[in-house]
Amino acid sequence: MNRLLMSKNGPALAGTIIGIIAALLVKFGNPGNMGVCVACFTRDVAGALGLHRAGVVQYLRPELAGFILGSFVSALLYREYRPRGGSSPMIRFGLGFFAMLGALVFLGCPWRAYLRLAGGDYNAFAGIAGLATGIAIGVIFLYRGFSLGAARQNPKASGYFMPLLAIALLALLIIKPIFGAEGTGPVFFSVKGPGSMHAPILISLGAGLLVGWLAQRSRFCTVGAIRDLIMLKDTHLFKGIVCFIVAAFLANVALGQFHAGFEKQPVAHTMQLWNFLGMVLSGLAFTLAGGCPGRMFIMSGEGDSDAGVFIMGMLVGAAFAHNFSLASSGAGVGAYGIPATITGLVFCLAVGTLFMNRVD
């Protein structure tokens, strides 16, 4: 299995299995077309920790802890655990922040964009078109020498932070501490809305561990797939997302979860310009940072502190998105979602331009 995952067909194999897992997680209770959504799950974690108070999106999603721990164990087993960091960490924090804002304007990360399509949500077309556009803009910067600088090797213990954080989040999920002044908190769990919809903990955690392992071995990346196709005409990661979409689509049909159309799709809106531009922002931010949000979780498990900082940016971005009314809802974009998207695009274009420093 390891040899297969490491082969040129590895991402396709991983994509197929992850697509089926995603459809099954919906069957087991996750919100519609949200078997796996790295951005939505991070947003739910931010809510559960009280960083924002949007009552409908608060849950300590164990899938995310599984991604980190699955990758960590896999990296240790195959001698790929290499703590590293120090490549413009604050800029990466900012990229994570704005990648999250873009994802919450669209209502999904690249993983969920593909899963929404596989569930029949045609609004995903605008999002995926935006994602590809954002990635293409990022590729232009990469061709012009964009780099956030080289990371350095870090002491071995520096890579333990994210796996320990994952364990801490799992502990909070199980203990459910409640000693807040209002009889709730400090950890919050939605009683209605998407945050209240989740598969049983052990199934979610098991799925997360499996996805973490599969993605660590195969380098499955939902942004690198389009980037490498555009830049290098290299299809090996792209086959991964094609298989991911097809497998999730077939599993959705088999499970009676495929509902085609634009209207009344789960956790989605029909403002196509902002579906598109939200994902332009996300696609560009992920490309400048070097990979999709799932890949960031996987790399953080391998000991990459810069990926960990990016995730912290996502977490804080999610809190701001809800506290400042930037996130969309089924009704459409948030009150200040449009200026936030434009601000994020300006930030990413500025980063892309200012870090074109490796031109010969």
Partner 1 sequence: METIKVDARGLSCPQPIVETKKVIDKLSGGRVEILVDTVTSRENVLRFGRNAGWKGSFEESEDSFKVILEK
Binding residues (CB under 8 A) for partner 1: these are 6, 8, 78, 80, 82, 84, 86-87, 142-143, 147-153, 219, 221, 224, 227-228, 231-232, 234, 236, 289-291, 302, 306, 358, 360
Question: Minimum Å distance from CB 131 to partner 1?
Answer: 17
- Side-chain-side CA neighbours of 197 within 13 Å: the count stands at 18
Find residue 304's DSSP bridge partners: 84
Which residues, in sequence order, are CB contacts of 230 under 8 Å at separation 6+?
132, 135, 136, 139
Question: Minimum Å distance from CB 236 to partner 1?
Answer: 7
Closest to partner 1 by CB, 149 vs 332, is 149
- Overall residue count recorded for the chain in this entry: 360
Please check whether residue 248 is in contact with residue 22, taking contact to mean a CB–CB distance below 8 angstroms.
Answer: yes
Alpha-carbon distances of 35 from 19, 22, 29, 118, rounded to whole Å: 9, 4, 9, 11
Question: Minimum Å distance from CB 5 to partner 1?
Answer: 12
Question: Minimum Å distance from CB 155 to partner 1?
Answer: 12
Alpha-carbon distances of 283 from 151, 212, 222, 280, rounded to whole Å: 22, 22, 10, 5
Cα separation, 223 vs 247, whole angstroms:
18
Question: Minimum Å distance from CB 32 to partner 1?
Answer: 32
Closest to partner 1 by CB, 148 vs 271, is 148
Question: Minimum Å distance from CB 299 to partner 1?
Answer: 9
Question: Minimum Å distance from CB 293 to partner 1?
Answer: 14
Residue type, 344: G
Alpha-carbon distances of 297 from 83, 105, 258, rounded to whole Å: 14, 21, 28
Closest to partner 1 by CB, 167 vs 232, is 232
Closest CA to 79 of 156, 191, 138, 13: 156
Cα separation, 126 vs 123, whole angstroms:
6
Closest to partner 1 by CB, 8 vs 264, is 8
Closest to partner 1 by CB, 82 vs 259, is 82
Question: Minimum Å distance from CB 99 to partner 1?
Answer: 14
Closest to partner 1 by CB, 86 vs 185, is 86
Closest to partner 1 by CB, 204 vs 287, is 287
> What token pair was written down for 324?
């400042």
Closest to partner 1 by CB, 107 vs 221, is 221
Burial class (CB in 10 A: 0-12, 13-18, 19+), 310: buried
Question: Minimum Å distance from CB 250 to partner 1?
Answer: 29
Chain centroid to Cα 341, Å, comes to 18
Cα separation, 26 vs 36, whole angstroms:
9
Closest to partner 1 by CB, 27 vs 82, is 82
Cα separation, 114 vs 117, whole angstroms:
5
